[in-house]
Amino acid sequence: MSVWRRLFGPTVPDEIRERLATDEHVLAATPTGTGGHVAVSALGLWVPDADGARRIGWDRISKAVWRGDALAVTEAEIADRAGDAVVLRDLEPVRHVLPKPGRIPYLVRQRVEGSIRSRYRKELPGGGAWFVVRKLPGVDGVVLQVRPDPGTEPEVVRSIAEEAAAKLAGGPRE
């Protein structure tokens, strides 16, 4: 690692630097094999998109797998709300080829796993669901996320998630 990089951190590509939040710092960045860059900050993983780059918050990454020369990222979107809980649906994994990954795989794993405070699997009618309490990036708070299996009864998931979120917040909602 060069002295410059040790003192001042990684070179941040323009398409990411222009979109950083106030006081958001890039910990590592690398070009992809297909154009654009992947970068890690305390708030999330920066990935290439049609506008140059976008950040996926650590709480929205369901899975990140490093295999060969690529990082495959499964992002989650909010499918429903249940009180203070969110019901998530996984999007298709997106593969980012990183010819020179540096610390990116290590930092991604550390940040994704570090965002998880607790997780619990519950079997339900039609399937089951994962209930995961995750730290929200950049704020002092957590969110209950529910990721049901396909075919799991949505009303049952919503009811259990709402009740669990109320208990997590300190009591039943009125």
What are the residue ranges spanned by the domains of the chain?
3-169
Cα distance between residue 162 and residue 32, in whole Å: 40
Kindly state the average pLDDT of the residues 102-129: 95
CATH architecture, domain 3-169: Roll (2.30)
Cα distance between residue 85 and residue 88, in whole Å: 10
- Segment 31-80, tens digit of pLDDT: 999 999 999 999 999 999 988 999 999 999 999 999 999 999 999 999 99
